[in-house]
């Protein structure tokens, strides 16, 4: 769930709760207030009426007048009563309205008064229709205001949140696109919000540190390999001297031979590591036009010469020019061609195709036990070749990755097929 | 022939000196830039082996001095860096060759001899061993005046062997010499046997003695 929605959701729930409680509450409270106002009015009316009647107590036939009045007045009733009760009683009643032809609510106050020793029951009514309409109108207006208020609040909040969080999302998208090996520091714009500026600064210092460590690690491999070259050279030179010793017995010679082979392996491994880290450190960046077909010809001729194989149908290529780094392309092609020659004894069965910028190199052989998924991993060795460093194909992969070529491997009909799409 | 070894690693410098001295070379050693500069100014050398990184300077600076002094000596840069930039600037400054550490002594000897040959004979490069005569300019081999047709690899192999005559050369050194710069050499030495067998046969057919000896499992020795 997105951050914006989390805060908006809470606001929304609260707003809905307020509307649900607020509308009936305001309706009820307005109605209560208006009822109280009406009751007060009725009370005053009643008091004034009784006061008024008292002024006419001197009239002999007031009883008759009151009866007439009762008959004439629509919203008043004056009935003689048997007993006098103190106080007023308010109640809401329904009265049939002959004009509107409907039953309407009325508020009625009942009290007792005495005129000329006769107790009268006085009931004054007032229609609630108007006040009901008023209550409804007020309630509707209130409800609309409330909804407008809350809706506006939600809208403003959501747009404000979007604006406020905008720098955060910008930072996030930049962080997603960030690559450690690009050697560029993390870029950001000032947001004028302290927290986000802090966050960006923290991210920048973190990425800078990471970049530094990454760089150091890359350089470490390169430097370590460089430093190893000299002791390896000394060791090699001593072995070359030892080998010249005429007094060497056959057993000693065998030991020296093992040492030479081991040292050779060390040197090769070191050279490959150095090459790999140089490629990683992007030390081969110059680009030029390269005749891939010619490179293939040379490489195949080289290994054919070494293996003493003269098959002429190995290469089927249409001329292809590539814009890339000469050294890297040379290594790429050489490693793949050597790989084919190294892993088969049937040299004349090797097939190399170059068409439409797709190079495929095939050699017959047994399928890999592990299906060939890790074939481009460093130090992965399927065969037991002593001279194989397990880095040759890793170097090929690295070159392809850096140059944007697609490298694939499949096993089909008893043949290993490596393809490079330039 | 005089060779100056400019190398700050004394162990390596001494090994090289010892190996080359058993050939017809007189070796002098310099462990620092200053010492090398002194020797260069005072003596003439046929070949200088130059390490790029020295404690008090670089081999490239020495190359510039050599150029300024107009010395007519061969220079082989020996570097642990194997960087293309160093190689290019070295060769541009007049170095004749570039050898990356680690290397086989046989390879170094062959390269030193190639340079000395080129310098001393002003382009007419003749390499002789008893009845075998090689013209490295014309790429021809004669045994007692009779031309022998060799493949390129057999030819390279013969020169490599003669350059290191009386020395045991490991199969690894031969393999690396024949395969060139490749970081990984073919892992079996079958191809050396094949080339060696063919070379021996061709030389024998032309009437040459069998000078190529096998030394235990170690390698080969070209000796009379």
For residue B183, what pLDDT is reported? Answer: 43
Å between B135 CA and nearest CA of chain A: 22
Average pLDDT over residues B17-46: 91
Å between A415 CA and nearest CA of chain B: 21
Judged by phi (left if over 0) then psi (alpha if -120 to 50, else beta), residue B23 lies in: beta
Are residues A273 and A383 located together in one domain of the fold? no
Q: Do B218 and A392 touch (CB under 8 A)?
A: no
Q: Give A271's contacts in chain B (Cβ within 8 Å).
A: 82, 183
For residue B4, what pLDDT is reported? Answer: 94
Q: Is residue A146 part of a domain?
A: yes
Look at residue B24 and tell me whether its pLDDT is greater than 70. Answer: yes
Q: Give A239's contacts in chain B (Cβ within 8 Å).
A: 170
Between chain A and chain B, how many beta carbons pairs sit less than 8 Å apart? 127
Q: Do B102 and A257 touch (CB under 8 A)?
A: no
Q: Is residue A115 part of a domain?
A: yes
- The domain locations on chain B are 2-120, 126-222
Q: Give A385's contacts in chain B (Cβ within 8 Å).
A: 187
For residue A78, what pLDDT is reported? Answer: 87
Q: B55 at the A interface (CB within 8 A)?
A: no
Reported as a single tens digit per residue, the pLDDT across A160-190 is: 878 888 888 888 888 888 877 677 788 888 8
For residue A340, what pLDDT is reported? Answer: 87
Averaged confidence pLDDT in chain B: 87
The dihedral over CA atoms of A299, A301, A307, A312, expressed in degrees to the nearest 10, equals 120
Q: Is residue A173 part of a domain?
A: no
> What's the CATH code of the domain at A240?
1.10.287
Å between B12 CA and nearest CA of chain A: 5
Are residues A48 and A129 located together in one domain of the fold? yes
Q: Do A306 and B151 touch (CB under 8 A)?
A: no
pLDDT lower than 50: segments of chain A: none
| Distance in angstroms (rounded) separating the CA atoms of residues B96 and B135 | 20
Are residues A266 and A303 located together in one domain of the fold? no
Q: Do A271 and B183 touch (CB under 8 A)?
A: yes
For residue A391, what pLDDT is reported? Answer: 82
Q: Do B191 and A307 touch (CB under 8 A)?
A: yes
Are residues A20 and A89 located together in one domain of the fold? yes
> What's the CATH code of the domain at A31?
3.30.450
Q: Which of helix, strand or coil describes residue B62?
A: helix
Nearest CA in chain B to A392: B184
Q: Is residue A183 part of a domain?
A: no
- Strand segments, DSSP code E, in A243-392 are 288-291, 315-317, 321-324, 351-355, 358-364
| Distance in angstroms (rounded) separating the CA atoms of residues A159 and A13 | 18
| Distance in angstroms (rounded) separating the CA atoms of residues A395 and B182 | 13
Q: Do B184 and A226 touch (CB under 8 A)?
A: no
Nearest CA in chain A to B51: A230
Q: Give B193's contacts in chain A (Cβ within 8 Å).
A: none
| Distance in angstroms (rounded) separating the CA atoms of residues B181 and B175 | 11
Q: Give B153's contacts in chain A (Cβ within 8 Å).
A: 305-306
Are residues A254 and A392 located together in one domain of the fold? no
For residue B107, what pLDDT is reported? Answer: 93
| Distance in angstroms (rounded) separating the CA atoms of residues A267 and A231 | 10
Q: Is residue A160 part of a domain?
A: no
Q: Give B178's contacts in chain A (Cβ within 8 Å).
A: 306
Q: Which domain holds residue A20?
A: 3-151
- Number of domains into which chain A is organized: 3
Q: B32 at the A interface (CB within 8 A)?
A: no
Residue ranges in A56-117 assigned as alpha helix (H): 62-72
Are residues A201 and A317 located together in one domain of the fold? no
Range B126-222 classified under CATH 1.10.287.90: no
Are residues A57 and A20 located together in one domain of the fold? yes
| Residues forming a β-bridge with A407 | A420
Nearest CA in chain A to B216: A250
Same fold, B2-120 and B126-222: no
Are residues A250 and A127 located together in one domain of the fold? no
> What's the CATH code of the domain at A411?
3.30.565.10
Look at residue B122 and tell me whether its pLDDT is greater than 80. Answer: no
Token output for A289: 């036009």
Q: How confident is the model at residue B121 (pLDDT cuts 50, 70, 90)?
A: low
Reported as a single tens digit per residue, the pLDDT across B168-221 is: 998 888 888 887 755 455 556 777 888 899 999 999 999 888 999 988 888 899
Q: Give B55's contacts in chain A (Cβ within 8 Å).
A: none
Report which of A330, A306, A332, A325 is spatially closest to residue A393, judged by C-alpha positions: A332
Q: Is residue A182 part of a domain?
A: no
Q: Which of helix, strand or coil describes residue A257?
A: helix
| Distance in angstroms (rounded) separating the CA atoms of residues B158 and A291 | 33
Are residues A143 and A214 located together in one domain of the fold? no
| Distance in angstroms (rounded) separating the CA atoms of residues A221 and B23 | 38
Q: Is residue A180 part of a domain?
A: no
Q: Give B189's contacts in chain A (Cβ within 8 Å).
A: none
Are residues A298 and A267 located together in one domain of the fold? no
Determine the topology of domain B2-120 in CATH. Answer: Rossmann fold (3.40.50)
CB A290 within 8 A of CB A321: yes
Judged by phi (left if over 0) then psi (alpha if -120 to 50, else beta), residue B77 lies in: beta
Q: B93 at the A interface (CB within 8 A)?
A: no
């Amino acid at each position: 769930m997105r951050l914006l929605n989390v805060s908006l959701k809470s606001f929304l729930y609260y707003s809905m709760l307020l509307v649900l409680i607020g509308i009936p509450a305001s309706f009820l409270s307005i109605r209560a207030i208006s009822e109280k106002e009406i009751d007060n009015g009725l009370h005053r009316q009643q008091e004034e009426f009784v006061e008024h009647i008292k002024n006419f107590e001197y009239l002999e036939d007031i009883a008759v007048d009151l009866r007439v009045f009762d008959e004439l007045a629509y919203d008043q009733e004056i009935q003689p009563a048997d007993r006098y009760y103190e106080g007023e009683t308010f109640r809401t009643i329904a009265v049939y309205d002959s004009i509107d032809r409907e039953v309407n609510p009325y508020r009625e106050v009942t009290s007792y008064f005495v005129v000329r020793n006769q107790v009268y029951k006085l009931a004054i009514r007032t229609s609630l229709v108007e006040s009901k309409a008023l209550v409804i109108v007020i309630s509707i207006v209130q409800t609309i205001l409330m909804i407008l208020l809350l809706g506006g609040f939600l809208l403003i909040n959501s747009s404000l949140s979007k604006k406020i969080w905008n720098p955060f999302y910008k930072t996030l998208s930049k962080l997603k696109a960030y690559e450690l090996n690009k050697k560029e520091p993390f870029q950001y714009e000032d947001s004028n919000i302290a927290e986000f500026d802090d966050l960006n600064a923290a991210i920048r210092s973190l990425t800078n540190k990471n970049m530094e460590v990454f760089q150091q690690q890359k350089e470490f491999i390169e430097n370590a390999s460089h430093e190893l070259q000299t002791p390896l050279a000394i060791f090699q030179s001593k072995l070359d001297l030892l080998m010249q010793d005429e007094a060497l017995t056959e057993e000693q010679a065998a030991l020296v031979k093992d040492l030479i082979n081991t040292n050779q392996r060390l040197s090769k491994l070191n050279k490959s590591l150095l090459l790999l880290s140089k490629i990683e450190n992007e030390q081969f960046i110059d680009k030029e036009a390269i005749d891939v077909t010619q490179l293939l010809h040379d490489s195949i001729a080289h290994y054919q010469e070494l293996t003493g194989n003269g098959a002429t149908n190995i290469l089927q290529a249409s001329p292809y020019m590539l814009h890339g780094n000469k050294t890297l392309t040379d290594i790429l092609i050489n490693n793949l061609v050597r790989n084919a020659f190294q892993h088969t004894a049937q040299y004349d069965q090797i097939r190399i195709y170059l068409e439409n910028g797709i190079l495929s190199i095939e050699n017959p052989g047994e399928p890999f036990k592990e299906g060939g998924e890790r074939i481009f991993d460093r130090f992965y060795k399927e065969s037991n070749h002593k001279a194989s460093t397990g880095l040759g194909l890793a170097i090929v992969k690295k070159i392809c990755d850096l140059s944007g070529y697609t490298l694939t491997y499949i096993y089909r009909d008893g043949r290993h097929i490596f393809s490079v799409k330039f | 022939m005089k060779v100056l070894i400019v190398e700050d690693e004394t162990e390596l410098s001494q090994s090289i000196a010892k190996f080359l001295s058993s050939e017809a070379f007189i070796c002098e050693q310099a462990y620092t830039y200053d010492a090398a500069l002194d020797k260069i100014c005072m003596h003439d050398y046929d070949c200088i082996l130059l390490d790029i990184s020295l404690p008090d300077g670089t081999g490239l600076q020495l190359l510039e001095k050599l150029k300024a002094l107009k010395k007519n000596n061969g220079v082989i840069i020996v570097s642990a860096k194997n960087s293309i930039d160093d190689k290019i600037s070295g060769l541009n400054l007049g170095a004749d060759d570039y050898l990356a550490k680690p290397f086989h002594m046989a390879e170094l000897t062959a390269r030193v001899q190639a340079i000395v040959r080129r310098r001393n004979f002003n382009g007419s490069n003749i390499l002789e061993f008893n009845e075998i005569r090689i013209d490295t300019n014309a790429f021809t081999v004669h045994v007692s005046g009779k031309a022998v047709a060799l493949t390129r690899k057999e030819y390279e192999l013969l020169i490599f062997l003669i350059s290191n005559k009386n020395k045991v050369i490991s199969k690894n050194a031969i393999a690396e010499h024949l395969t060139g710069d490749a970081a990984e050499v073919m892992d079996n030495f079958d191809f050396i046997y094949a080339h060696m067998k063919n070379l021996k046969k061709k030389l024998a057919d032309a009437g040459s003695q069998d000078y190529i000896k096998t030394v235990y499992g170690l390698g080969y020795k070209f000796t009379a």
